[in-house]
Amino acid sequence: PLGRRARTGGNSCVQSRLSGGGDPDSRFTVIVNTFKRPKNLRAAIRHYEKCPEVDAIRVVWSEQDQEPPIPGVDADASMFSECVEVRYDAHPTSSLSNRFAPLADLRTQAVFNVDDDVNVLCKDLAGAHKMWRQTPEVLVGFIPRIHIKDPATEGAYLYRRWWTVFLKGSFSIILTKACFMHRDYLEMYTTTVPQAVIQHIDKSRNCEDIAMQFVVSNVTDKPSVWVDGRYTDSGALDGISTTGIVQHRKTRDECITMFGHAFGRMPLVYGEHYVTRAGSWTSFISPP
């Protein structure tokens, strides 16, 4: 694997060391979820290779009609990095749950799960990682959502976005499109999520992120942590699993309700705290 190096201009990199030295807890692995969007993936690699705490970039490769890029092949050179190890993990299906498959040879406890169209500022990513190290048992991320009871249907729930989070002053879901988690949750997702939930995700092409929040909340009975951070999200209306705002929300309403039945309870826990730096106006400038 490539050592930690810092880009100095052009394609050259010089060896550098983090203050944490060889301590794996001082670094994290970026897991990039992508699907047939090479431009987005290339941009994500170029962005996250610059973040000094990144130990490696692992790409979730679910394309069935295209082999992943090959290291050492000139035509694929832009899909790798001179600064960090980039490794492609190919899967035999296109399931959205592939993003949570356990990964061999991970060197870090922390993994940052991110969509290929979301780029978080390196400084804010480092701050979120520090927060995660204080609470490694929960999800720590940048994009909160909330579930509420459906007043029209007994036992049903609704999925709501930022403005409901703001108005209610609480959240219960951290989206895994930009989220730190402990690597053990990859194994837990794969081995404990009810098969009916996996099938529902595959059928709807949606909600694997909500399922991961169910897994973590079901184990910890603790709220996740929402952290301040600046990021770009070019897939807010055209993401890997989005199908239009109205249908997307309806599908996620159904997911939360169905997952609650499958897990035998509603494990999602409301949180009220937002971790931010003093003087930061990020959430007001660009609501998540």
Q: Is the pLDDT of residue 4 over 50?
A: no
**For range 193-211, the mean pLDDT:** 97
Work out the number of other CB atoms within 10 angstroms of the CB of residue 195.
8
Q: Please indicate whether residue 23 or residue 234 has the higher confidence score (pLDDT).
A: 234
Among the residues of 154-233, which ranges form H helices? Answer: 162-168, 184-192, 195-204, 208-220
pLDDT tens digits, one per residue of 40-50: 999 999 999 99
**For range 140-150, the mean pLDDT:** 97
**What is the pTM assigned to this prediction?**
0.89
Rounded distance, CA 212 to CA 192, Å? 11
Contact assessment for residue 34 and residue 68, using Cβ atoms and an 8 Å cutoff: no
Q: Is the pLDDT of residue 1 over 50?
A: no
Q: Which two tokens stand for residue 61?
A: 């490769």
- Residue 12 has φ and ψ, to the nearest 5°, of -90, 145
Rounded distance, CA 32 to CA 287, Å? 23
Indicate the average pLDDT of the chain.
89
Helix-strand-coil split of the chain, %, nearest 5: 35, 25, 40
What per-residue confidence (pLDDT) applies to 247? 87
**Residue 71: which residues within 8 A CB-CB, separation 6 or more?**
80
The DSSP letter of residue 19 is: T
Any idea which residues carry the catalytic annotation? 209
**For range 223-251, the mean pLDDT:** 79
What per-residue confidence (pLDDT) applies to 277? 65
Q: Which amino acid, residue 78? A: S
Rounded distance, CA 165 to CA 153, Å? 21
Give the confidence band of 12 by pLDDT, cuts at 50, 70, 90.
very low
Rounded distance, CA 138 to CA 140, Å? 6
**For range 20-35, the mean pLDDT:** 84
**Residue 44: which residues within 8 A CB-CB, separation 6 or more?**
32, 34, 114, 116, 117, 119
Q: Is the pLDDT of residue 2 over 70?
A: no
pLDDT tens digits, one per residue of 177-201: 999 999 999 999 999 999 999 999 9
Rounded to the nearest 10 degrees, the angle between the axes of helix 245-263 and helix 208-220 is 30
Q: Is the pLDDT of residue 276 over 70?
A: yes
**Residue 166: which residues within 8 A CB-CB, separation 6 or more?**
287
**For range 203-219, the mean pLDDT:** 97
